[in-house]
A and B are shown apart, each in its own frame.
Chain A
Amino acid sequence: MAMTWSDLAKKQPAAMRILMNGIRNNRLAHAYLFSGGRGVGKREAASHLARAFFCRARDGIEPCGACPDCKRIDSGNHPDVVVIQPDGRSIKKPQIASLIKAFSYKGVETSKKLFIIEQADLLTSQAANSLLKFIEEPQGNTLCILITEHSQKILATILSRCQVLHFKPLSKELLVHHLLENGVSRVMAKTVSAVTSDAEEATTLSKDEWFANSRSIVLHFMEDLLTRPNHAIITMYEKCALHFNDSDKMKMMLRLMLIWFRDVMALHIGQNDNVVYVDRMESLTEAAEKMTAEQAACALSLLMEAQRRLQSNGNPLSVLEYVSLKLQEGAGVYA
Chain B
Amino acid sequence: MADAIHSMAVEEGLAMKVIVAKDKLVACTNDVMRAVSSKTTISILTGIKITATSGGLTLTGSDSDITIQAFIPTEENGIENIQIIKPGSIVLQARYFADIVKKLPDDTVTIEVDSRLMTRIQSGHSEFNLNGMDADEYPRLPVLREENTLSIRKDLLKQIIRQTVYAVSTSENRPILTGANWVFENKTLKCVATDSHRLARRTVTMDVEENHTITNLVIPGKSLNELGKILDDRDQDVVEMIATDNQVLFKTDHIQFYSRLLEGKYPETEGLIPNDVKTEVVLKTKDLLQAIDRASLLARDERNNLVKLKTVDQSSLEILSQSPEVGRVYENVPANKISGEELRISFSAKYMMDALNRIDSEELIIQFTGAMKPFILKPVDDPDLLMLILPVRTN
* Interface segment out of the listed A17-25, A71-79, A213-221: A71-79
Binding site for B on A (CB under 8 A): 68, 71-72, 75-79, 82-83, 97, 100-101, 103-111, 139-140
Measured CA separation A77–B245 after assembly (Å) = 22
Q: Within the complex, which residue of A71, A101, A103, A139 is in contact with B137, where a contact is CB–CB below 8 Å?
A: A71
B61 within 8 Å of A by Cβ?
A: no
Q: Within the complex, which residue of A79, A82, A106 is in contact with B139, where a contact is CB–CB below 8 Å?
A: A79
Q: Within the complex, which residue of A83, A97, A104 is in contact with B263, where a contact is CB–CB below 8 Å?
A: A104
List 12 A–B pairs whose Cβ atoms lie within 8 Å, in order of A's numbering.
Answer: A72-B137, A75-B137, A77-B42, A77-B43, A77-B137, A82-B41, A101-B175, A104-B176, A104-B263, A105-B262, A108-B246, A108-B247
| Chain A residues within an 8 Å CB radius of B64 | 79, 108
**Residues of chain B from 23 to 70 with CB closer than 8 A to chain A in the complex:** 41-45, 64-65
| Chain B residues within an 8 Å CB radius of A103 | 175, 263
Assess the B175–A76 pair: CB atoms within 8 A: no
B340 within 8 Å of A by Cβ?
A: no
Assess the B137–A104 pair: CB atoms within 8 A: no
Assess the B172–A139 pair: CB atoms within 8 A: no
Q: Distance in Å from the Cβ of A202 to the closest Cβ of chain B?
A: 30
Assess the B263–A106 pair: CB atoms within 8 A: yes
Q: Contact residue range for chain B?
A: 20 to 34
Q: Distance in Å from the Cβ of B177 to the closest Cβ of chain A?
A: 10
Say yes or no: A107-B246 contact (C-beta < 8 A), given A79-B64, A79-B139: yes
Assess the B44–A139 pair: CB atoms within 8 A: no
For A110, the closest partner residue in chain B by CB is: B246
Assess the B178–A104 pair: CB atoms within 8 A: yes
| Chain B residues within an 8 Å CB radius of A110 | 246
Assess the A105–B140 pair: CB atoms within 8 A: no
Q: Distance in Å from the Cβ of B338 to the closest Cβ of chain A?
A: 43
Which of the listed residues A76, A79, A111 has the most CB atoms from chain B within 10 Å of its own CB?
A: A79
Which of the listed residues B43, B176, B178, B264 has the most CB atoms from chain A within 10 Å of its own CB?
A: B264
Q: Distance in Å from the Cβ of B189 to the closest Cβ of chain A?
A: 20
B391 within 8 Å of A by Cβ?
A: no
Assess the B136–A71 pair: CB atoms within 8 A: yes
For A95, the closest partner residue in chain B by CB is: B41
Which of the listed residues A100, A107, A111, A140 has the most CB atoms from chain B within 10 Å of its own CB?
A: A107
Please list the 3 inter-chain residue pairs (A to B) with the smallest Cβ-Cβ separation, ordered nearest first.
A104-B175, A77-B44, A79-B139
